[in-house]
Structures are given as structure tokens and as C-alpha cells.
Structure 1
Amino acid sequence: MGGSALLVRDLSAGYGPVRALRHVSLEVPEGTVVTVLGGNGAGKSTLLRAVCRTLSFHGGAVTGGTVTLGGRPLDRLPPDRVVAAGVSQVPEGRRVFSRMTVADNLRAGALGGAGGRVGRARALRRVHELFPVLADRAGQRAGLLSGGEQQMLAVGRALMGAPEVLLLDEPSLGLAPLMAARIADTVREINEQGTSVLLVEQNAALALRLASRAYVLEVGEVTLSGPADELAASDEVRRRYLGVVDEDAASDGAATPDGLPSLSRWKG
């Protein structure tokens, strides 16, 4: 856990006249899980798209800031070169190639990665060890998998590029609690194997259990950051994201005009 695996500095982005990110800075130290929390429209998915250079596919553009991986700039690379540099994304909603087989989906994930045939074989073994069901269903069309199995395939496809940093966008979205817990265990295992993880997740309780550090995005800006356990213990985070309200917290919230506490920047 020495150097900085992924460093985002003063990143701004938008969709036409709409500013979605405003001077966002965050760090994913090597070998860690870092989570980004926030409500709908906070800019979480935009952040991941900006990092992996796919924002233009969604009609957006980065307007300022830098992104580096191990000191290497990523912000001028095309998306395939970002994958080759060591960053892979699992998009929200899984987005598997439904008419292709499970095996072909995994092969597609290896196209941008480095390492040649030996590296692809090693990555496939890793994916099958993490998700044995994908080996069992190798010849099946991806669209016939269950939602949880499709999420496994989406994660496996991203891992085929042997990333140094894995970007996960709402991996528990739409999954039953048992499957969401299984995906969370897999994220933990992926990290223990040496892959850094930047996790965007609306299930704040799950995300804070997985992460060592957390950031909160509000309307495109980082409003809170610090060790995940400190954010989990914060009344502010507990009220807004964990659904925990006690008498003191309720009275604090009632003291503000709109019934919600005001956020102040926290530099941990």
C-alpha cells in the first residue's frame, strides 16, 4: 500500500451547459478500496466515466483537471489505452453483450488488456476461480443469465484486462440482498488479490464496510471525505445515507431551515 494507484485532481466535467463535476479531487492508494457515496444526480457515474475516458460516449466532456495512475497521465488517452494502462470499469446496469456467449463476453474484456495469450489465460483462470458459474455457463448466451450472474459476468469481463484499478458503478443495484452480499465478498477478495477498487455505491452501509476511505459527492462536489469508519460513525452520514436517526441527530436536523444538516468540508 505504498504509492498512489489512482490520483484525480481538480476534475471538472459536464454535459453541454450542465456542470456535473466541479473540481473533484480524490485518491485511491495502491491496494485499497475507496468508495464514493452520494444521491442520484450527484455525479458519481460521471466521475467514473471521466476517469476511464468514456464520458464522450454519453454526451459529456471533461473540462479541467488531471487523472494519473502511478504517476502516468490518463486524461489524454482514448478509452482502450486507459484499459491497457490498468484501469477497467464495470458500468452501472451490467451492460453485458446479451446475444454473445459468456465465454465471448470474457474474451471481449481481454481485448484491451496487456499480457498476451499467457496473460489472458491467467486472467480467465482468475475469473473462473472467483465465479465458477461462469465456467459452467461458458457456452450460454449472456442475456439468459440471472441478474446476479450477469453482474458476475460484468465484473469478470472487466477483470480480463488484468487491471490495477477496478471501477465499480453500483454493483449491488437491483440485486437481492443475498446476491449483493456475495458480490461484496467478491469485491473484498479481488482487493485482497492486489487490485485497487474505486466503488460507487448507493448502499452506503455495504460500501463503508468494504472501503478504507470514503468520499461524499453532493451536486458534483466533494463535500465530505475521510476514513470510512469515521464517516460511518458520523451523524451527518448516518442521517443522510444510513437511515439512522437518534434524538440528538433529529434535533440537529430540525435546527436548519430545510430540516437537513448543512454539509461542511471534512479533510481527513
Structure 2
Amino acid sequence: MGGPGLAVQELSVGYGPVRALRQVSLDVPEGAVVTVLGGNGAGKTTLLRAICRTLSFHGGAVTGGTVSLDGRRIDGVPPDRVVAAGISQVPEGRQVFTRMTVADNLRSGALGATGGRVERAAALRRVHELFPVLADRAQQRAGLLSGGEQQMLAVGRALMAGPRMLLLDEPSLGLAPLMAERIAATIREISAQGTSILLVEQNAALALRLASRAYVLEVGEVTLSGPAAELAASDEVRRRYLGVVDEDAAADAERARASHPALTRWKG
């Protein structure tokens, strides 16, 4: 791992009187893949919006704490300056421009990025190497792509800005298992190329395989954190997020059912 990367310290967020995040702290070191786990309503998407400075578009506001990239605070700058600083987000639900072509969707991802024509051409080559189907479908409307192809386009669009830090919001959502694994393989490749990744994901098993460190967010607060392998082995995480039941408890329940069979309905 490299330098300091992304640092979120004591971040609190509200939507009017509703507190959505409460003093959340996490770090994404340079070159790392870090995941945030949690159920619906835990505050995962709000966290990414706070980092990208798009909360105001959704009626939210940061009420405390700081966000820094490589030691420089970015919590007070507009969204376009966050992109210029090197952070891009892939939103939940893909949100591609369905009436625009694949090529135009990708071009839109470079808006606000630093660099000129040479850098944009290099970014496009990288995207096409990662997702050859996007080169093949360049002049096709994005709305005609499959769900998996739209997810590829959403990731490719974010990469067009040449980010050093990529924020992924539920990239496997709504995808068939095979396509989700293809997206996971791409995340590994993007990481191997040197891009840091903050991954928000409900598919805990997938996320814990990809990440080196994990945080569990519940009702706006970090309740667990540590190396991803340790959380994957945690009984609490296995029970709540991986669908694994404690083996001893399951055996006890099975013995109880065998020794006390359920009563059958009386027949008159």
C-alpha cells in the first residue's frame, strides 16, 4: 500500500432533522480495496455522497467531521473539484444516459477531469481494454445494453476521469451471479492497475473476497471494522451478512426437533 489516500474522520450527515451518519471514520490507503457493508438504510450511499460532495442534490448536508485525500481536505469544495482531485463515483443502479450512445456516455465521464486530449485517449483505451464490448457497441444507445453491460459502462464512464480513487456503490446489484463475478474480476484488475477503491456492497461474501479491510455500517454508525479476512471469519458477520448459522446451535435445534416432533393436526 502507498500513501495516506482517503481519510474520513468523525463524519456526521443529516437530511433535515434526520441524522443519517454519526461520527463515521474510515481510511482507504493508496492502492487498497476497502469495503463498507450494511443493510438497506445503513447510510452507505449517504457516505459516498458526502465524500463526492453531492449531498446537497439529495437534500442532505454534512454537519460535522472532515474528508481528506492525500492529506488535503476536500469536504469544502464543489463536486467538480472532487473529480479533478482524483475521485470518481459509480452510482447505485448504474444511472447511465440511456438515450445517449455508449461513446457519448464515456465522453461525459471525462468532464471536469484534469488533462487534455492525450489523457482522454489513454483513458478510453484503458476502458476498452477492460470492457471490449463497449468498443463494439460504441454507437449503440446505452439503454439497449443489458444490465451487466450498463454496469460496465457506468464503471468505464467513471474511469474516463482517470481517478486515483474509485467509489463503487452496489456494483453487483441486480446482476446475475456470473455477471457479478465478471464485475468482481474487473474490480481486481482496476485495483491491480493502481486505482484505490471504496466498495459499498450488500453482497458481503463478494465484497470480503475483494477487500483488504472492511467496515460494517449500521444505522449510520460504524459498528465493526478490521481486516476483511477477520470479519469474514467473525461469527457475527457470518450470521448477519453471510447467511451462516452457528453450527452448534443448528445441531442443537435439529436434536430438539428430533426429540420433540411437531404435533400433527387432529383428525375428527
Q: Which residue of 2 aligns with 1:263?
A: none
Partner of 1:108: 108
2:205 maps to what in 1?
205
Number of positions where the alignment pairs a residue of Structure 1 with one of Structure 2: 251
Q: What are the superposed Cα offsets for residues 207-227 of structure 1, whole Å, 9 maximum, x if unpaired?
A: 000000000001000000000
Letter in 2 for 1:135: A
Q: Secondary structure at the match of 1:93?
A: coil
Asked if residue 56 in structure 1 is aligned to residue 46 in structure 2, the reply is no
- 1:97 and 1:209 map into 2 onto residues whose CA distance is 31
Q: Over aligned residues, Cα RMSD in angstroms?
A: 1.0
Cα deviation code 1:32-51 (max 9, x no counterpart): 10000001000000000000
User: 1:246: Cα distance to partner?
Assistant: 2.0
Q: Is the 8 A contact 1:88 1:165 kept in 2?
A: yes
Alpha-carbon separation, structure 2, partners of 1:92 and 1:2 = 28
Moved over 3 A (4+): 247-251
TM superposition shift of 1:247: 3.5
Structure 2 gap ranges (5+): 252-268
Measure how far apart 1:114 and its partner are.
1.1
Describe the SS at the equivalent of 1:4: coil
User: Shift in Å at residue 59 of structure 1?
Assistant: 1.1
Q: In structure 2, do the counterparts of structure 1 residues 249 and 62 end up closer, same or farther at CA, with 3 Å as the change threshold?
A: farther
The one-letter code of the counterpart of 1:47 is L
Q: Which residue of 1 aligns with 2:180?
A: 180
Superposed CA offset, 1:143-174 (max 9, x none): 11000000000000000000010000000000
Task: Note the C-alpha offset of 1:248.
Answer: 4.0
Larger radius of gyration: 2
Q: Does 1:169 align with 2:164?
A: no
Contact kept? 1:235, 1:249, Cα under 8 Å: no
Q: Aligned residues: percent identity?
A: 85
How much has 1:129 moved relative to structure 2? 0.2
TM-score, length basis structure 1: 0.92
Ranges in structure 1 where 5+ consecutive residues have no aligned partner:
252-268
SS of 2:153's equivalent in the other structure is helix
Q: Is 2:222 the partner of 1:192?
A: no
Q: Which residue of 2 aligns with 1:221?
A: 221
The letter of the residue matching 1:17 is P
Name the counterpart of 1:46: 46
Looking at structure 2, the residues matched to 113 and 63 of structure 1 have their Cα atoms a distance apart, in angstroms, of 28
> One-letter code of the match for 1:150?
Q
* 1:251-262 pair list within 5 angstroms: none
